[in-house]
């Protein structure tokens, strides 16, 4: 490892509702971190958008903030890389200026276009090429087809179709670059050949020239533009490196870099990253398969559209008292909510939730499903609802684990990342529901750390990811399941499945 004077790395994780930044020192340790939230723009017909400038402006703000608070000389930051949400698509003109607001991955406007694509190509063929077992409105291909039909004046002007990481790399370097892990869920990328899928591009009416140049993760793209240096406060010596889709970035940041390793991220959404050696195309069990940020590996991605976002929605909508009290006492309102949930027994006195506020991900893949609270009774309070939300997310995770077990995939331990990993209650409920031990890490911002480690490989600070993870990743705590609670939760799990099944036709 190079321990020269430029000994710091910057990792940026651009999530669904926040941007997080970490600075890693020469030993790969997290030296400093900051974050900043932003609000999505939701509307009728389940639209979800955001001005692309928000991604850039908030990113610049957190970079300036972390440089200022850490008091690090920008000349000593040798590399920067991004971890980002997937699927959110940004349409820019020939000069790189956004033509409209970004369509966020949660947006459901293109359900009909998803059906048209599935009918045109067939589910098995799509799975063979892209690794996606279902065609849902989240995939960028469906949004491009929607744009072609509904906003032809924009469609005709598009110079490039970019994802969030692509857009930020462009703003940093002036180059249109992307990487395999991020584009695997576009539905126009061949995960085996690692090329753009021409048949799909032709069907959509676009060309490969309208897409970014493909790279492996951890590849140095170049130095920053004058505009980027001015906007971020970084230096001419900082190099921008290809990062990763947030889930494999989180796996790297947690040290899970070999086949069979499993990580779970509970952020705004939920996703598991299960590393495998070769792509799978088994349609009988609906699990997405994508290129890993680690060269030569793939990963399965069971996911849920909404996880921590459900708790955020509940906080913003029903917990004004907790927000006010937390502000006065310099507390986190989530901590006050968790304290109330801790006083509630497992099973929340019969209150069950389906946490599907914006449709379901795996294994159901149903964009029409809505969230449900069932079993509300007199005497229940906010603590019951908070606990039911946490338990519902844990049960959704357990459902995906059971689905993977049907494929013969063995999971012995869960490495949990994201905001949920900071709560002992979340972690213990998850261990109890799944019956599996849970490991948390000292550094919780693992996607941003993974991006920082990729930056380190790209600029030569580390010879490879093995070395980077040996230096950086440190275990914090292990949660063992209470098997009495696990047996009880098996009954709650059955009720959860029955509730979903009973309402499936209702949607």
pLDDT of residue 387 exceeding 90: yes
Lowest mean pLDDT segment, chosen from 181-190, 224-233, 362-371: 362-371
* d(C-alpha 24, C-alpha 10), whole Å: 6
Please report the pLDDT score of residue 31 as a whole number.
80
Please report the pLDDT score of residue 220 as a whole number.
97
Element housing 10 (H / E): strand 8-14
Closest-CA residue to 14 (of 103, 84, 87): 84
φ, ψ (nearest 5 deg) of residue 502: -70, -25
* Residue pLDDT, tens place only, 285-323: 678 899 999 988 888 888 888 999 999 999 999 999 999
pLDDT above 90 covers a percentage of the chain that reads 72
pLDDT of residue 1 exceeding 60: no
* d(C-alpha 114, C-alpha 231), whole Å: 38
From first CA to last CA, the distance across the chain in angstroms is: 55
pLDDT range class, residue 6, cuts 50, 70, 90: low
* Residue pLDDT, tens place only, 355-370: 999 899 888 888 889 9
Q: Which of 42-51, 245-254, 337-346, 463-472 has the highest mean pLDDT?
A: 337-346
- 192 lies in some domain: no
Per the CB < 8 A criterion, the answer to whether 301 and 289 are in contact is yes
When divided into structural domains, the chain yields a total of 1
Strands 89-92, 41-42: pairing is unpaired
Please report the pLDDT score of residue 259 as a whole number.
66
- 314 lies in some domain: yes
Residue burial 440-470, b: 16+ Cβ < 10 Å; e: rest? bbebbbbbbbbbbbbbbbbbebbeebebbbe
HEC sequence for 98-134: ECCCEECCCCCCCHHHHHHHHHHHCHHHHHHHHCCCC
How many CB atoms lie under 10 A from the CB of residue 102?
A: 26
Peptide bond into 369 cis (omega under 30): no
pLDDT of residue 197 exceeding 90: yes
pLDDT of residue 468 exceeding 90: no
- 493 lies in some domain: yes
Please report the pLDDT score of residue 3 as a whole number.
47
Rounded average pLDDT over 228-238: 96
pLDDT of residue 193 exceeding 90: yes
* Residue pLDDT, tens place only, 208-217: 999 999 999 9
pLDDT of residue 91 exceeding 80: yes
Please report the pLDDT score of residue 4 as a whole number.
46
Give the DSSP letter string of 367-433. TT---EEE---TT--HHHHHHHHHHHHHHHHHHHHHHHHHTT-----EEEESGGGG-HHHHHHHHHH
Rounded average pLDDT over 6-15: 90
Lowest mean pLDDT segment, chosen from 149-158, 249-258, 369-378: 249-258
Strands 48-50, 102-103: pairing is antiparallel
Please report the pLDDT score of residue 260 as a whole number.
64
* d(C-alpha 255, C-alpha 193), whole Å: 27
Per-chain mean pLDDT for the chain? 92
* d(C-alpha 167, C-alpha 162), whole Å: 6
Rounded average pLDDT over 179-198: 97
- 175 lies in some domain: no
DSSP 224: P
**CA dihedral defined by 285, 15, 237, 231, rounded to 10 degrees?**
150
Element housing 154 (H / E): helix 152-155
What is the greatest pairwise CA distance in the chain?
65
* Residue pLDDT, tens place only, 16-41: 989 999 999 877 777 888 999 999 99
Which residues form the domain of 346?
305-434+478-503
- 317 lies in some domain: yes
- 394 lies in some domain: yes
Please report the pLDDT score of residue 2 as a whole number.
44
Domain containing residue 428: CATH number: 3.30.420.40
Per the CB < 8 A criterion, the answer to whether 438 and 406 are in contact is no
pLDDT of residue 284 exceeding 90: no
pLDDT range class, residue 256, cuts 50, 70, 90: confident
Strands 414-417, 30-37: pairing is unpaired
Per the CB < 8 A criterion, the answer to whether 215 and 208 are in contact is no
The alpha-helical segments, DSSP class H, found in 284-373 are 308-318, 320-329, 333-342
Per the CB < 8 A criterion, the answer to whether 8 and 239 are in contact is no
β-partners of residue 244 are: 83
Residue burial 276-314, b: 16+ Cβ < 10 Å; e: rest? beebbbeeebbbbbbbbbbeebbbbbbbbbbbbbbbbeb
Global pTM value: 0.80
- 365 lies in some domain: yes
Element housing 264 (H / E): strand 262-266
Closest-CA residue to 353 (of 164, 499, 196, 184): 499
DSSP 239: E
- 418 lies in some domain: yes
pLDDT of residue 443 exceeding 80: no
């Amino acid at each position: 490892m190079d321990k020269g004077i430029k000994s710091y790395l910057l990792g940026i994780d651009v999530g669904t509702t926040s941007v997080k930044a970490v600075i890693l020192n020469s030993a790969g340790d997290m030296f400093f971190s900051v974050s900043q939230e932003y609000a999505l723009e939701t509307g009728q017909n389940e639209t979800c958008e955001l001005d692309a400038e928000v991604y850039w402006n908030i990113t610049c703000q957190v970079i300036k903030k972390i440089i200022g608070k850490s008091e690090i000389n920008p000349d000593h930051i040798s590399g920067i890389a991004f971890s980002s949400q997937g699927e959110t698509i940004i349409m820019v003109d020939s000069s790189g200026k956004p033509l409209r607001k970004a369509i966020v991955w949660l947006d459901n406007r293109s359900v009909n276009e998803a059906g048209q694509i599935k009918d045109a190509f067939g589910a098995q063929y799509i799975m063979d090429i892209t690794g996606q077992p279902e065609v849902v409105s989240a995939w960028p291909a469906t949004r491009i087809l929607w744009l072609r039909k509904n906003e032809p004046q924009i469609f005709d002007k598009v110079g490039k179709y970019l994802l969030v990481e692509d857009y930020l790399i462009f703003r940093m370097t002036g180059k249109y670059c992307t990487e395999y892990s991020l584009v695997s869920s576009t539905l126009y990328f061949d995960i085996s050949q690692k090329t753009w899928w021409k048949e799909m591009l032709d069907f959509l009416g676009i060309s490969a020239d309208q897409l970014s140049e493909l790279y492996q993760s951890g590849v140095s793209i170049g130095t920053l533009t004058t505009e980027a240096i001015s906007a971020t406060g970084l230096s001419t010596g900082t190099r921008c490196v290809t990062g990763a889709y947030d889930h494999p970035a989180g796996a790297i940041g947690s040290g899970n870099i070999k086949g069979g390793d499993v990580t779970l991220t509970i952020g705004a959404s939920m996703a598991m990253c299960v590393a495998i050696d070769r792509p799978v195309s088994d349609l009988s069990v609906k699990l997405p398969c994508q290129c890993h940020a680690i060269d030569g590996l793939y990963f399965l991605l069971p996911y849920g559209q909404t996880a921590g976002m459900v708790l955020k929605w509940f906080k913003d909508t029903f917990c004004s008292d907790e927000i006010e009290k937390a502000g006065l006492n310099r507390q986190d309102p989530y901590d006050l909510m968790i304290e109330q949930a801790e006083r509630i027994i497992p099973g929340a006195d019969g209150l069950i939730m389906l946490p599907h506020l914006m449709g379901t991900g795996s294994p159901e893949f149903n964009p029409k499903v809505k969230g449900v609270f069932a079993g509300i009774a007199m005497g229940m309070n906010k603590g019951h609802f908070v606990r039911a939300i946490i338990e519902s997310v844990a049960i959704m995770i357990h459902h995906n684990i059971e689905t993977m077990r049907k494929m013969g995939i063995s999971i012995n331990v869960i490495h949990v990342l994201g905001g949920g990993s900071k709560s002992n209650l979340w972690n213990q409920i998850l261990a109890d529901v799944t019956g599996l031990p849970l490991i948390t890490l000292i550094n919780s911002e693992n996607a941003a750390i993974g991006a920082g480690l990729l930056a380190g490989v790209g600029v030569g600070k580390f010879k490879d990811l093995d070395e980077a993870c040996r230096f950086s990743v440190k275990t914090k705590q292990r949660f063992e399941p209470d098997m009495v609670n696990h047996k009880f939760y098996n009954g709650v799990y059955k009720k959860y499945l029955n509730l979903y099944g009973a309402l499936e036709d209702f949607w």
